[in-house]
Amino acid sequence: MNSLNYLKNFSTVVVDTGDVTLIDKFLPEDVTTNPSLILNSWHLNQYKKIINKAIIYSKRKGMDEKNTINFIIRKLSIGIGVELLKKIPGYVSTEISAKFSFNKLQCIEEAKRIIEMYEEENIDKSRILIKLAATWEGIKASEELEKLNIKCNLTLLFSFAQAKACAESGVFLISPFVGRISDWYNIHYPTKLEFYNAKKDEGVRSVVKIFNYYKENGYKTIIMAASFRNIEQILELSGCDKLTISPILLDKLINSSKKIEKKLFSNSKVNMVRPKKLSRSNFLWEHNLDPMAVEKLSEGIRQFAEDQRKLEKIIISNFF
């Protein structure tokens, strides 16, 4: 029995990829994608066919170039999601454009379009998670979408304020970014420890804090830890609701026979009274007090937006 199978006893394993060929290898429950992964997957033959079909459809509909490009990228994201769903029993996460991160209404409208396009492919919305950046506007868009039975995955989550606001808004799932938090602290507060200790890793500690807070207060929001840099981070969070892991680290788990122990446990005693909800101003203030979270959230949104622009340029140069 390999380490990945041990891990699956304690946490739902999710693979971070747009490559359907990897699904049979790792047998994950769910799959998540983002603009960076789509950028890295567009050249695969099955996805080129999707792009060509989208171009033909857009021309038939008489779309201008801007709307055509937006349509093609949306169609490509959904096409990847459809192919992945053929291989897994659970959810696929599809991310809306990062440029909508600070506009609640645009987040909602884009999410509805994505669901409609999945339904055109005979995929029920119950299998889709809409990925939104965990800005105040993204969180509140998710709150409205949940009322329409559209489940959301709030990504780029770095601060405890983001986690609290998501739980209070009834968000279905959050993705705290373990590795990116660790990266920031390693740069700004480098340690001279001879041996790495995952328990003291700031990314790991952030997820443990969120996990305990959610379970102690009876919040139903699922915690899916993401963005791992090493196996030790993963093992320290075994027992977290879900873990989304890159193919490189999944390979390491498969090739290891080390027995894994559960590290996170739900508290059987739940607080009778939940903490007071954050207002928008309180959320912004608490988030702003965490310089790491402010920097990494902004950086993540810019990065995903830049990857989308790169994809747009690729499509224009190769298909127009």
- What are the structural domain ranges in the chain? 3-319
| pLDDT tens sequence across 258-298 | 899 999 998 778 888 899 999 999 999 999 999 999 999 99
Q: What is the pLDDT of residue 184?
A: 97
Per-residue pLDDT tens for 23-66?
Answer: 888 889 999 887 777 777 777 777 777 777 777 777 777 777 77
List the one residue out of 145, 150, 68, 78 whose CA is nearest residue 117: 78
pLDDT at 169 (0 to 100)? 98
Tell me the average pLDDT of the chain.
91
pTM for the complete prediction?
A: 0.93
Contact 107, 97 (CB under 8 A): no
Q: How far apart are CA 175 and CA 300, in angstroms?
A: 13
Give the pLDDT of residue 187. Answer: 93
Kind and range of the H or E element at 140?
A: helix 136-147
131 is catalytic: yes
Distance, in Å, from the CA atom of 300 to the CA atom of 183, rounded to the nearest integer, reads: 13
**For 190-196, which contacts have Cβ atoms below 8 Å and span 24 or more sequence positions?**
196/230, 196/232
| 306 Cβ neighbours under 8 A, 6+ residues apart | none
Residues 131, 164, 215, 296: which is the catalytic one? 131
* CATH superfamily of the domain spanning 3-319: Aldolase class I (3.20.20.70)
* Integer Cα distance of 127 and 162 in angstroms: 25
Note the pLDDT of residue 290: 98
**Distances from the Cα of 300 to the Cαs of 233, 253, 267, 303, in angstroms?**
20, 27, 32, 5
Mean pLDDT to the nearest integer, 153-181: 98
Q: What are phi and psi of 102, to 5 degrees?
A: -115, 20
More confident residue, 37 or 96: 96
pLDDT at 193: 63
Residue 307's identity, in one-letter code, is D
Chain centroid to Cα 81, Å, comes to 14
Q: Which of 99, 93, 76, 14 is nearest to 304 (CA)?
A: 99
